[in-house]
Structure 1
Amino acid sequence: MIIFFKALIVVPITLLPILNPIAIAPIFLSMTGPIEPQLANRLAKRIALNCFFLLMGAVFIGSYVLDFFGISLPIVRVAGGIVVAMAGWKLLNDQGQDKLRNSVAASHGGSTWTREELRSRGFYPFSFPLTVGPGTIAASVTLGTQMPNKPVDWIITSIASAMGVLLTTLVIYLCYRFARNMERLLGDVGATVLLRLSAFILLCIGIEIGWAGISDLVGDLKLR
């Protein structure tokens, strides 16, 4: 039971600070525009489902995929840090959030997306890399490499880890599903401030991820 609860708690505690869905929610709103609540609910479900499979894949088969292609975790961190930092920088310097929302409303009639648009946008950019970014994938792969070798302990840890991933994606769903309520609570000024702050945090996270990868690569060079 100790092994089970330890694995169950470790996964959300490790991943949620990196995912930070509360801070990403304003960015999610700015990119979706004024869509109707029913569509927002469907999109939040789609994103949560995509994130669940992304995290499960990273935890259980991520290390094997990286080994197959000969890619190290430091390289993933450097490349991922660049992607995340660029996204944060773009959002931080974007002065046309109102224009973005108006253009989205005009192009989609203010409420509707096609099923194909919902499916494609639900994965990119909302699921990856906005929510589950390279930093989260690297952390998930690291969790997967710490699985015990003993068969019974591996099964218990795997079940607990899967439940931990499920809890994590449930938090993602709730944050995105009720993001509009958060925006109404904050008001226009508060939402704008939170958006800029979130974009700055995203930029800092990207730099931190990239710097961690560079530090690991430099450390490897010193050992050679």
Structure 2
Amino acid sequence: MYVKILAILDPFAAVPVFITLTEGFDPRRKDEIVRKAFIAMCVMVSVFTLFGIWILNFFGISLASLRVGGGAILLVLAFDVLGEAPRSKKLDPEEIAVMPVATPLLVGPGTMTTIILLVTENNTMEGYVAVLAASLLAVITAALMLRYSSYIVSKLSKSFVRGLGRFMSIIIAAMAFEMIKNGIMEWLSALS
């Protein structure tokens, strides 16, 4: 479960985007962003593990709608990073931490959907505990990668990191379109 959730969180892809979004921020501000993103991610995976199915049902939200909405947010993030002056630099660390870093960059519709499916497959008290533990461990791993992203990047050239960030934003845009397409396909198949 841990590996599956970590793969969906994909902190490896998030590091260059995080570096691009926080370029020019002092280390304390970056640490604050990581800390707040970590707390937000812990809350999100815990809530979705324990109450995800009921939340979606309560609001009448299908997994298809979750994919389309999350895909749209990811698409905006991708264009934001591709632009010369990302809008998120004008936001305070708390806003950047929750959106776009915690969600949808790391804990997005794919993570939420994966957690809900794992809970559905392991619908026992032990299953809930296992999914929650795996989710929290994956979040800890992602937060540590963000926390030490400056060190990772210090071993690489600045132009390489900037190029990698732009490349990853193209990948994120492609993921966003894929999520939107899959959500629309689910809607269409439900209509037929």
| Deviant stretches of 4+, over 6 Å | none
1: distance between equivalents of 2:68 and 2:32? 33
C-alpha contact (below 8 Å) 2:68/2:181 kept by paired residues: yes
Task: Report the more deviating stretch, 131-140 or 62-71.
Answer: 131-140
The one-letter code matched in structure 2 to 1:95 is E
1: distance between equivalents of 2:23 and 2:79? 20
From 126, 132, 138, give the equivalent of 1:168: 138
Deviations 1:62-99 (A, max 9, x none): 1101111111111111121122123213323x1347xx
1: distance between equivalents of 2:147 and 2:72? 28
Equivalent residue of 2:185, what SS? helix
Q: Which residue of 2 aligns with 1:5?
A: none
Question: Are 2:177 and 1:215 aligned?
Answer: no
C-alpha contact (below 8 Å) 2:45/2:132 kept by paired residues: no
Q: Which residue of 2 aligns with 1:95?
A: 84
The one-letter code matched in structure 1 to 2:55 is V
The number of residues matched between the two structures is: 192
From 136, 139, 142, give the equivalent of 2:117: 142
Equivalent residue of 1:139, what SS? helix
C-alpha contact (below 8 Å) 1:62/1:144 kept by paired residues: no
TM-score by length of 1: 0.76
From 13, 19, 34, give the equivalent of 1:44: 34
Let me know the Cα RMSD of the aligned residues.
Answer: 2.3
Q: Which residue of 1 aligns with 2:105?
A: 130
Identity score, percent: 23
Equivalent residue of 2:157, what SS? helix
C-alpha contact (below 8 Å) 1:51/1:132 kept by paired residues: yes
Task: Report the more deviating stretch, 35-44 or 209-218.
Answer: 35-44
2: distance between equivalents of 1:62 and 1:165? 13
Question: Are 2:170 and 1:200 aligned?
Answer: yes
Deviations 1:87-130 (A, max 9, x none): 213323x1347xx89xx5xx8xxxxx9xxx44443223321223
1: distance between equivalents of 2:85 and 2:30? 22
What is the CA-CA distance between 1:194 and the residue it aligns to? 0.9
Structure 2 unpaired stretches of 5+? none
C-alpha contact (below 8 Å) 1:23/1:194 kept by paired residues: no
1: distance between equivalents of 2:111 and 2:178? 13
Alignment of 1:19-30 (within 5 A): 19-30=9-20
In structure 2, the CA distance between the partners of 1:85 and 1:124, relative to structure 1 (3 Å rule), is: closer
2: distance between equivalents of 1:64 and 1:147? 16
Structure 1 unpaired stretches of 5+? 1-9, 108-112, 149-153
Deviations 1:124-167 (A, max 9, x none): 3321223222222222222222232xxxxx12112221210121
1: distance between equivalents of 2:79 and 2:113? 22
